[in-house]
Chains A and B, each alone.
Chain A
Amino acid sequence: MQHTIKEKIQWGILLTPSLFFVTIVIVIPMIGGISYSFTDWSGIGREINWIGLDNYRMLAKDSRFLFITFNTIRFAAVITVFQNVVGLVLALLVVKKIKFRNFFRAVFYMPAILSSLVVGYVWSFVYNPRVGLLNSTLELLGINMGSFDWLGTPSTVLYSVAAVAVWQFSGYSMLIYIVGLQSIPLELYEAADVEGANAWHVFKNITFPLIAPAFTINVILILTGTLKSFDHIFVMTNGGPGYFSEVLSTQLYKEAFTYNNMGYGSAISVVLFFMIAILTLTVLKYLRSRELN
């Protein structure tokens, strides 16, 4: 009995530093942010007044806000789909006993440890209309894009930035899929072999269903990450041209830190928070039920 209490106290003490950090770095700013959303604080100066739901009312009347929200969802959806696909394909390639397997794993993963801002900056040169690597390479392959402005054309800008995110983080998804793939019992593959199943059948009936947990994890992680995505867009297009690549996180950054509307920016962040929470929980519920089947 005494042992248990002592142990509990020990655990409690060991937890204190972490609790301390989480409270200061996560809980307090979150409460602060939500509180500011009900005020008209500019972000500088000490003048602050309670204005209730006025910021939210203004958001509801803002037609731009809807457009930006749609951009955010579209951006997140595209990356979620493609990063999963590419990550899975890469994982399937490197789980086989090929030469230099570990080397490839490392190489595919490396972009994920680079700074997003640096990656975005470098890729904006790749997308350069006249001297960029992309247009030059396409021309060599026989596809003459002329001086197509990938980041300056409304119809392509969001997808061009999404491609960079997929490039950078597919390795991360790949790692999760590798773990998932390695947990599939080999007997199942042997049995399929005996029954003469082809590669596609094997994938569809054995591999894919059994990596459902890894699939769920990847989708949730990517979705939550990209809905609040900021770095790539900020450094490559800053929301441009016009508002065609503007997303909620870049807009809220501008409102809070550039236009001196901290209260309004906080309101946008609260809306973003709920949007991510609702979308993610819905997707999670659906995927979890799929997992069980």
Chain B
Amino acid sequence: MNRFVKVLAVSIMVLVVIAQAFAGGRKEDSTEQKITTLRLATYDNDQSGVIKKIIADFEAANPDIKIEHELGGGDQYQTALRANLTIGGAADILGTYPGVNQIGQYARAGYLEDLTGASFLDNISDGVLSQVGLDGKVYGIPMAVIFTNVFYNKDIFENLGLEIPTTWDEFMAVCEVLLSNDITPISLGFRDNWFGQVPVYAFAPTTIYKQNLDFDAQMYAGEVQFNGPEWRGTVEKLVALREYLPVGYMSLGYDQIATEFNQGNAAMIIGFTPQLGMLENVNFGMFIMPTSDDGDNWTATSVGGVLSLNSESKHKEEVLRFFEYFMRDDVYKEYIEEEERLPVKSNFEFDGNPILVDFAKSVGETYGFLDAYWPPGVQDVFIKGIQEIFLGLDVGGVLTAMDNEFERRVNMQRE
């Protein structure tokens, strides 16, 4: 009898302990308290100075609101976000990403609040808003604009008497001069798939969309393909860069690309504006990637970071007040300047990094980053296809395989 009781007691204890593990959960705000706590979840690894300050200033001006900034820890953020949205319990304010496959998917699933027409979205162009929306509605605040561009080492250029190229032939000539002087012309790496596409995005607006803005719609309708003259031409230009890339570029990662440049081993980077913060020790400048024959070069653009409102948030009023505050001209100006980003607001006056500001002024026509328009999965197939082409596999074969995948995934989306 004694032993039986002991066994029973131990088992009950174990079960209770297990039950505790499932008992976690957020405590709801007590309705007697006047303070509402908002949770803000972003990708960041650490508290960026200016966000912390903006939150503090907002709390000071609005004593009935507190904001908890939950740090996402980098790569795990996206996975955690999806999980939290699916099972419920995601933060009130969510950092999301632009495009059909990111914010578009969440919006379609009903997780995000429709913000169309809100006053804090004033003065932002339709083009930019379409990146953070779905079917004409807007589901987040775009925080900054990013562009593809070429970073170049001003000192190396000056020493070799090089001028900024404005056509493809001029660009090739510059690369030749650099190579013959034992300097790696371009720092580029394909290990990190998500970045490997950026150079391709840099080319496509000029090589394809400048000639045909409806290309994507036609692709969905099956009228044009990857294995066609437009993409073959683009890919040929890409592959022409092969001899100008660093040794071991196939396994060169995102961080190492900047390192090559910073150490003076490579004279240029074909990348995008967010890399600005990674560059140091070098007197550098920026110019638009010249893939044209006539000097009229288009640039690829996207949105860098989006703030969305969780449709299941219990504090939507308060979140909207924060959004209003964040997009107020003086607050937004501080954000843009401190973070060295480009503003989403049209004709916005700010004292940014002069290199960045001058570059932004030089940007002419633009087209969005391609993954914003493709069904999910195509982006990865695309970059692997590019890798295979660089490895020397038959271009026609690879492009056809990409077409088959595209068709397959478009059909998956339709189901």
Measured CB to CB, the residues of A under 8 A from B are 6, 9-10, 13-14, 16-17, 20-21, 40, 42-47, 49, 51, 54, 58, 62-64, 124, 127-130, 147, 149, 151-154, 237-243, 254-255, 257-261, 264
Q: Which of B110, B248, B405, B408 has the most CB of A within 10 A?
A: B248
| Neighbour of B7 across the interface among A13, A124, A130, CB < 8 A | A13
Closest Cβ of chain A to B24, distance in Å, is 15
Residues of A within 8 A of B274 (CB): none
Closest Cβ of chain B to A104, distance in Å, is 33
Instruction: Mark interface residues in B378-415 (1 if CB within 8 Å of A CB, else 0).
Output: 00100011011011010000000100010011001001
Are A259 and B409 closer than 8 Å at their CB atoms? yes
Instruction: Mark interface residues in B7-24 (1 if CB within 8 Å of A CB, else 0).
Output: 110110011001000000
Are B391 and A242 closer than 8 Å at their CB atoms? yes
Given A16-B11, A45-B109, residue A51 in contact with residue B251 (CB < 8 A): no
| Neighbour of A17 across the interface among B18, B190, B390, CB < 8 A | B18
Residues of A within 8 A of B385 (CB): 242
Closest Cβ of chain B to A267, distance in Å, is 12
In the bound complex, how far is the Cα of B8 from the Cα of A14, in angstroms? 8
In the bound complex, how far is the Cα of B376 from the Cα of A47, in angstroms? 17
Q: Which residue of B lies closest to A124 (CB)?
A: B251
Are A127 and B393 closer than 8 Å at their CB atoms? no
Residues of B within 8 A of A20 (CB): 15, 18
In the bound complex, how far is the Cα of B110 from the Cα of A20, in angstroms? 34
Are B191 and A240 closer than 8 Å at their CB atoms? yes
The stretch of B31-39, B78-86, B164-172, B277-285 in contact with A is B78-86
Residues of B within 8 A of A152 (CB): 190-191, 248-251
Residues of B within 8 A of A242 (CB): 384-385, 387-388, 391, 393
Given A58-B408, A240-B193, A259-B380, residue A6 in contact with residue B15 (CB < 8 A): no
Number of residues on chain B facing chain A (CB within 8 A): 45
Closest Cβ of chain A to B409, distance in Å, is 7
Are B251 and A149 closer than 8 Å at their CB atoms? yes
| Neighbour of B190 across the interface among A49, A241, A243, A255, CB < 8 A | A241
In the bound complex, how far is the Cα of B70 from the Cα of A183, in angstroms? 55
Are A6 and B4 closer than 8 Å at their CB atoms? yes
Closest Cβ of chain A to B377, distance in Å, is 4
Are A241 and B250 closer than 8 Å at their CB atoms? yes
